[in-house]
Chain A
Amino acid sequence: MARGNERQEKVSVHSIVRGAETSPEPIGVLLRELVAHLRENRTQLREEWARRITEAQLLTAMSKDEIFAEATAVYDQYVEALETGTFEALQAYARSLSERIIPRGVETHEVVGIVLLLRDVLARSLFAKYQADFTKLNRILDAYEPAANRIANTVAVGFVQERERVIRQQQEAIRELSTPVLQVRERLLILPIIGVIDSQRARQLTEQLLRGIRTNRAKVVVIDITGVAAMDATVANHLVQTVEASRLLGATVIVTGLSPEIAQTLVTIGVDLGKMNTVGDLQGGIEQAERLLGYKVIPIAATTYDESTKRV
């Protein structure tokens, strides 16, 4: 391994300068020695680490048993990574660990913190073991440090990537939630829009609505934008397109709840208002929709029962 040779070079110079008699071991041998030591002292090093985690008040979201279980898994993965020099297994483990602990509210600094603590605990045990032979200690650290750093890096990056994935997923979910297509009568759909609409959301809205029209066989759709404060010309155009596309599927669209600002935008961009069916508020829109569909709503109290004819 080129890097190994480089180190050997450096180490040889080092020993010549120090006048050491022993010839330096190759990196591979050092690593094996290191790993053996870590395996032999697994129990106490792991306990020491768990203790340091609690002392540093990390992973407070988890119980002692959970911390111990995860600590065991991480320790073994750590040693394995040191031994094999490959980090895929560790990466996979970091992601699966992140998947488990992120919903528990564990923060990035905690994950980075515990990995660094393990690094410290293991390093200290190396100091203790090789304290009599400073040269040997240096060589062991030469083998240990790059690998340990790479491990810390891998775990931290894995955690952050998982967080980003979760955030993206949540954003998608929020988008979907915000534009439900609701059937309130046979053949009548309502699409209440709330919040900020950007081009992407407008497009997603249109797709969802068209699918809804087909699935529910809707003849009338009421799009309520009471909850939308403002709309730029691009999004207003999307709205017009949505109305036109719905018509191609045989549905009439009634837009309700236009704020004065949005009304202004529509007039400014020159929307053909003949194409857009608008009503002041949602109630009015639903009433008009019902008329279009041939419904008539009669309050029950208004009907009187005629005893003689036995009819309402």
Chain B
Amino acid sequence: MEVPVLKQGQFLIATVQAALTDEDLIQLRIALVERVVVARSRGVIIDVTSMDVMDSFASRTLREIAQMIRLRGAATVIVGIQPEVAFAMVQLGITLEGVVTALDLEEGLAYLNQAFKNDS
């Protein structure tokens, strides 16, 4: 299932749905990096509000996405991790080390706007 990616000015917003397979995650990584290049985006928001479980593969893929996007000079923010999911993740020792996280879309955009303002 393809993850919808929308363009919002200088930023891209990818909204993840509930049941995401490993394949879907890899596709997302490929698609996002490509779109960042084509649209010359300065930032990407990945909204995982609908994700009710985050396993180690998902976490690793998200970290990879952030690293690859940073190599393109852009920032990534993961938003919308649910309290229950966050709780389960820390218990399993799954961290999103080195990845910026924010509460929701609004916060994510605020962060990117701030970072973008600081850069220019």
Contacts and interface: CB of A to CB of B under 8 A. Distances in A.
Interface stretch (A35-43, A109-117, A239-247, A279-287): A239-247
Most buried by A among B83, B87, B95: B83
B87 A245 contact: yes
A242 B83 CA distance: 11
A214 B107 CA distance: 12
B86 A210 contact: yes
Given A217-B103, A250-B101, A210 B87 contact: yes
Contacts of A219: 103, 107
B81 interface: yes
Contacts of A247: 101
A210 B82 CA distance: 9
A241 B104 CA distance: 21
Contacts, number: 46
Interface in A181-236: 206-207, 210-211, 213-214, 217, 219
Most buried by B among A207, A248, A250: A248
Interface residues of B, number: 15
Nearest to B81: A248
A267 B86 CA distance: 25
Contacts of A241: 90-91
Contact of B89 (A217, A242, A245): A245
A209 to B, nearest CB: 9
Contacts of B96: 248
Interface residues on A, range: 10 to 19
Contacts of A53: none
A102 B101 CA distance: 51
B87 A217 contact: no
Contacts of A250: 79, 101-104, 107
A166 interface: no
A16 interface: no
Given A211-B83, A214-B83, A217-B107, 19 more contacts: A207-B87, A210-B83, A210-B86, A217-B104, A219-B103, A219-B107, A242-B90, A244-B90, A244-B95, A245-B87, A245-B90, A246-B86, A248-B81, A248-B86, A248-B101, A249-B86, A249-B103, A250-B102, A251-B103
Interface of A: 206-207, 210-211, 213-214, 217, 219, 241-242, 244-251
